[in-house]
Amino acid sequence: MWNACDTTCDMPVYKALPPSSDFLLIPTPHRLPFKPNLTNPTHSFLPKPTPPPPPFPKMKLSLTFLALPLSIAAAAAAAVLDKRDPLPSKFTLESSSQGIPDLIWTELQWLGGSAYIGNSRYNSASEKLEFTSGGDGLSFTSYHSAPTGWTSFYIFPSESRAVGFTTPHSGSVPAGAATTGFENVGGQLAYQGRMEWQACDQGGGTYQIYWNGASSAGCVPIGLYVRPSAC
């Protein structure tokens, strides 16, 4: 056998057949010099497999990161409670019911010169407690009284005692009691920004409203929500 050209030439390479073929030359494909493929040592023409993605980095949660949503929620709640709006000219109050499982009637009722929730509603002497607000505080006029027989609402700011109302037509306020300073804070009735209201069990599903100024009432803490009257 013989070659007409070496493997680096640009001409076709011919091979001589055995003598019985009458020396017919058949071209063979051009052969380039062999260069090893360092990136594909197996010389495979298949695509290289895609390497798996790197593992997702583990996040280290700090206490600060976990506390962030709580601090945002607390700030939002504080912003709501700090929001002060004027009290409506006429409104009623509705108590929260958390901690009082047998409470059905949450709207405050006037009865015997104080305020109640619950089954006091069934007492024939009770009536819906609708306040009128003004510069002199909060007043209430019973439908059993003359139009001028209004009474003033009061609490004892530094004591834990039941809320009360003055005697109609007298305007006499007990010593140490406050009739002004009430405001609407975040939709709840407050006294100078404080909400120390409690519901004290009187038996039979009736609860009397207390102001817990001395933190000694020992009753159920409640919120008193302002509900503007329809007319």
Q: How sure is the predictor about 202, in pLDDT bands with cuts at 50, 70 and 90? A: very high
The yes-or-no verdict on residue 210 having pLDDT over 80 is yes
- Cβ-contact 169, 150 below 8 angstroms: no
182 lies in some domain? yes
Q: Span 48-76, mean pLDDT?
A: 55
Give the model's pLDDT for residue 8. 47
43 lies in some domain? no
Q: Span 43-57, mean pLDDT?
A: 62
The yes-or-no verdict on residue 9 having pLDDT over 80 is no
Q: What is the CATH number of the domain that holds 176?
A: 2.80.10
201 lies in some domain? yes
Give the model's pLDDT for residue 22. 47
150 lies in some domain? yes
Give the model's pLDDT for residue 195. 97
112 lies in some domain? yes
Q: Span 31-47, mean pLDDT?
A: 53
* pLDDT tens figures, 134-172: 888 999 999 877 777 889 999 999 999 999 999 988 879
Query: Which residues form the domain of 157?
Result: 81-228
Average pLDDT value for the chain: 79
| Range scoring the smallest mean pLDDT among 9-18, 88-97, 216-225 | 9-18
Which is more confident, 26 or 86? 86
Overall domain count for the chain: 1
* pLDDT tens figures, 171-199: 799 999 999 999 999 999 999 999 999 99
The count of other CB atoms within 10 Å of the CB of residue 140 is 21
218 lies in some domain? yes
Give the model's pLDDT for residue 37. 54
As a whole number of angstroms, the distance between CA 209 and CA 162 comes to: 6
59 lies in some domain? no
